[in-house]
Chains A and B, each alone.
Chain A
Amino acid sequence: MRNITATLDRQETGDPVRATAAPAAPEWAATLHSHGPLLLAAARAITRNETEAEDLVQTTFERALRAGSTIREPLAIRAWLLTVQTREALRVVRRLRLTLRFDPEVHELPVGGPETAESIELDEALGRLSRPIRAAVVLHHMIGLSVRETADALGVTENTAKARLKTGLARLRELLDED
């Protein structure tokens, strides 16, 4: 007998289940593509690895395509996509931790924008955070999700999310030598 249980309830996911009719497939794909840059930027920031980031976006895209007909609240799509992507990113790192060594130095991400000393310094500091903590910082402080949304995306309680954010900021300050 299959053991299938809902692991997120509607409240936790921001309830994308309301009201409007399911988007048609072409519209849905277009909607997803409109979120593509955000997903890519978030994936790059969380993973620090271009290949993994692209894989993550693709995986998220695939899942969204599968679930497309069941998503009825376009406004919640962004948070849901980030949730799927973040969890996949964290799941990947769990896998890696279980069996393999992950060497961020080998896969250092060449980021866009002006390569100012400040940017490089910040990137390096972010890269030295653990992935769960970095994901929390990215989602909340960089993308702008609320603590609640960040907690949902990470699959943790709000208190845990707050703790990770606090730890992340403290570590960044330390690394950036901020007062």
Chain B
Amino acid sequence: MKTDDDGPASPGLEERLSRRFATELQQAERDYPAIGRRRGEAAERHRGRGLMWPRVAVSLLAIAVLATAGLVGLGLVARPGTSGPAGSDGVALGADGLPNEIDGQTVYRVGDKAALLNLDGTFLLGGYVVRAYYQDVGCPDSTPNPSADLGLMITCSAYGLAPTASSEATVLGSLRPDVLSAFLGSPVVVSAKGCTSYVDPIPTACPPVPDEVVWPDAPAEVGGEHVYRAADQASFAALHGSFLLGGRVSKPDVVPTCPVPLGKSDAETQLVPYCSWLSIDGLAISPKGTFDEPNGERVVARVHVNDPLAADCPADALASCQAAIVVESVVWRSDPFWTPSPSAAASGSAEPSPAQSAAALPSPTAASSMSLLGPDGVPTAIDGQPVNRASSLPSTTTFLLGGPLTRDTSCPIGNPAPDPNTATPPACGFWMVDGVKVGAQTTLPASLEGSLVVARIVRSRVLAVCVTTPCPPSDLLVVTEIVWNGTPVPAQPN
């Protein structure tokens, strides 16, 4: 058909090619109405809902890097492998600087074509974060879309994974660039999902969900600033001003309020809390503002030591106060949907005020389906749930506990001083229900002290944080709700 200067003429072959395409075109004209209607309508639907930028953005990929939040739960803590050098967090690294496995799962390499071919479902994928460029008619974050004046095709940039820090990306991150950008140039392991269709991985076979870095726990730097880890603790004292601390947050599922501080100064209470349940990679932290990171979340926080408040601590606690790691704000979080918020750094007490706590506490009610009161005036069941007593605590995770609500004042105030290295809940200062020591998810109104109550209890495994030594977790009963309260119990004469 064509006889341009494209090499030796071959009329016979060109004629055959032309005839072949004519046949192909005839077939396409027969097929297109059905296919075109189906596919065209799908395309218009894409367009109608803001177009397919996720598809376009990721269409570069052979495999979409997709999030699987379940992979990165508490259990997915990197563990040492069996070979190779160990990273700073104890993970065995291969010669390419990537873990060979994490939590027993193989880490596949982005360059391991043969292995990736046969993968489907969710798996771990390791590579180096690099900038990636691809051409398209519009970039995900490009507003407006390129005009025809620009030739309709522009270069979009994204972050992707490559076999080495200096090679071309073979897998592109699918959503927020912030997630991968913090790791630029560094090795990472992400949770990835293989696609049924490797040809066009995004539209239907692979719903676009964010990728998530599962290793390392935190980037080596954020915004060019070095991120310190728990292992660097010895050097913290020499650091001036704030610095970045990265790692995994530990906190109990249900955080009880601390007992009433007894014999401690305000400065000590704030810097070295009587019960400190929060930690980053095992280092106790003292949030200055709100710190609502979930348990297991990987964060980079702006922190400081040598807080000015330390000057107000008593001499015997001065060193602990000066060493206290005060969190100012969270600057990076592994949650791909998270965005830094100025309010995260807002100062103020981490604990709600009594007024706030009282407002948050469900109003005690007389349960509508309460069973008969027991001999001591405590219901025996509410809404079909039995009300347990101290003498018959069930082993279930949640249950109702009834009895008088009192304070534990069994130890003299300030003597002995609380041991910051104890893993057990403080010996006094807690609320008690029917004589059982309990924590409270919110501050209980003081007006309830001495009343008969039925409280909803959650057994909470508290990851206690000690100042200088590791503490084993301890169990604590936590009041999440007062579901019934009756009249105050008359004071018993001593």
Contacts and interface: CB of A to CB of B under 8 A. Distances in A.
The answer on A and B forming one complex is yes
Given A3-B133, A91-B60, A113-B26, A8 B42 contact: no
Nearest to A93: B199
Describe A's contact surface by its main secondary structure: helix
A29 B40 contact: yes
A32 B16 contact: no
Interface string A156-169: 00000110011001
A100 B116 contact: yes
B157 interface: yes
B139 interface: yes
Contact of B170 (A88, A99, A166): A99
A2 B18 CA distance: 44
B149 A17 contact: yes
Interface in B105-162: 110-111, 113-114, 116-117, 133-139, 141-142, 145-157
Contacts of B139: 2, 4
B253 interface: no
A112 B114 CA distance: 34
A55 B52 CA distance: 13
Interface in A1-49: 2-10, 12-13, 16-17, 29, 32-33, 36-38, 40-41, 44-45, 49
Given A2-B141, A37-B29, A58-B42, A173 B13 contact: yes
A4 B156 contact: yes
A119 B20 contact: yes
A2 B7 CA distance: 42
Q: How many of chain A's residues touch chain B, expressed as a range?
A: 35 or more
B200 A92 contact: yes
A9 B10 contact: no
B117 A62 contact: no
Contacts of B113: 98-101
A40 B32 contact: yes
B197 interface: yes
A172 B52 CA distance: 38
A126 to B, nearest CB: 8
A99 B18 CA distance: 34
A33 B136 CA distance: 21
Interface stretch (B43-51, B236-244, B283-291, B323-331): B43-51
Nearest to A87: B135
Interface string A87-121: 11001100110111100000000011110001100
Contacts of A5: 154-155
B153 A7 contact: yes
B7 A99 contact: no
Contacts of A45: 21, 24
B116 A178 contact: no
A80 B153 CA distance: 11
B43 A58 contact: yes
A27 B407 CA distance: 78
A16 B170 CA distance: 33
A137 to B, nearest CB: 7
A4 B25 CA distance: 37
Contacts of A72: 148
B10 to A, nearest CB: 6
Nearest to B151: A8
A45 B137 CA distance: 24
A174 to B, nearest CB: 11
29 contacts: A2-B157, A3-B155, A7-B151, A7-B155, A10-B149, A29-B44, A41-B27, A52-B200, A55-B203, A57-B39, A61-B43, A66-B145, A67-B137, A71-B152, A72-B148, A91-B59, A99-B116, A99-B170, A99-B171, A112-B24, A113-B24, A113-B26, A119-B23, A138-B21, A142-B18, A147-B6, A162-B4, A166-B6, A178-B13
Interface of A: 2-10, 12-13, 16-17, 29, 32-33, 36-38, 40-41, 44-45, 49, 51-52, 54-55, 57-59, 61-63, 65-67, 70-72, 80, 84, 87-88, 91-92, 95-96, 98-101, 111-114, 118-119, 122-123, 137-138, 140-144, 146-147, 161-162, 165-166, 169-170, 172-173, 176, 178
Given A29-B44, A55-B200, 16 more contacts: A2-B142, A6-B146, A32-B40, A40-B35, A45-B24, A61-B43, A62-B46, A91-B60, A92-B200, A95-B170, A99-B170, A118-B16, A140-B6, A147-B2, A147-B4, A169-B8
Closest 5 CB pairs of A and B: A112-B27, A166-B7, A113-B23, A142-B21, A8-B151
